[in-house]
């Protein structure tokens, strides 16, 4: 378990591409969720608070 954690924190060799791939995938997913949340919040606010 400790070696797996060490490989995850400091990837080497063949694990490096998997580490960057997973990091990039998480970045894309989180940014997509953030954009969708902002868009949904903005659209709901536009309906109820046009005067503000």
Which residues are within 8 A (CB) of 35 and not within 5 positions of it... i.e. 6 or more apart?
Answer: none
pTM given for the model: 0.52
Domain count, the chain: 1
Higher pLDDT residue, 2 or 27?
27
Mean pLDDT computed over 1-17: 63
Q: What is the pLDDT of residues 31-41, one digit of tens each?
A: 999 999 999 98
For 27-52, b where at least 16 C-beta lie within 10 A, e where not — what string? eeeeeeeeeeeeeeeeeeeeeeeeee
Task: Please give the distance of CA 4 from its chain centroid, rounded to a whole number.
Answer: 22
Q: Is residue 7 part of a domain?
A: no
Instruction: In whole angstroms, give the CA distance from residue 11 to residue 18.
Output: 9
Q: What is the pLDDT of residues 41-51, one digit of tens each?
A: 888 766 555 55
Q: Is residue 14 part of a domain?
A: no
Domain around 38: 25-52
Q: Is residue 33 part of a domain?
A: yes
Tokens of 2: 């400790």
Higher pLDDT residue, 43 or 10?
43
Q: Is residue 19 part of a domain?
A: no
């Amino acid at each position: 378990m400790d070696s797996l954690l060490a490989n995850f924190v400091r990837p080497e060799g063949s694990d490096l591409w998997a580490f960057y791939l997973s990091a990039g995938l998480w970045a894309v997913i989180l940014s997509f969720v953030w954009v969708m949340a902002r868009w949904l919040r903005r659209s709901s606010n536009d309906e109820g608070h046009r005067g503000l």
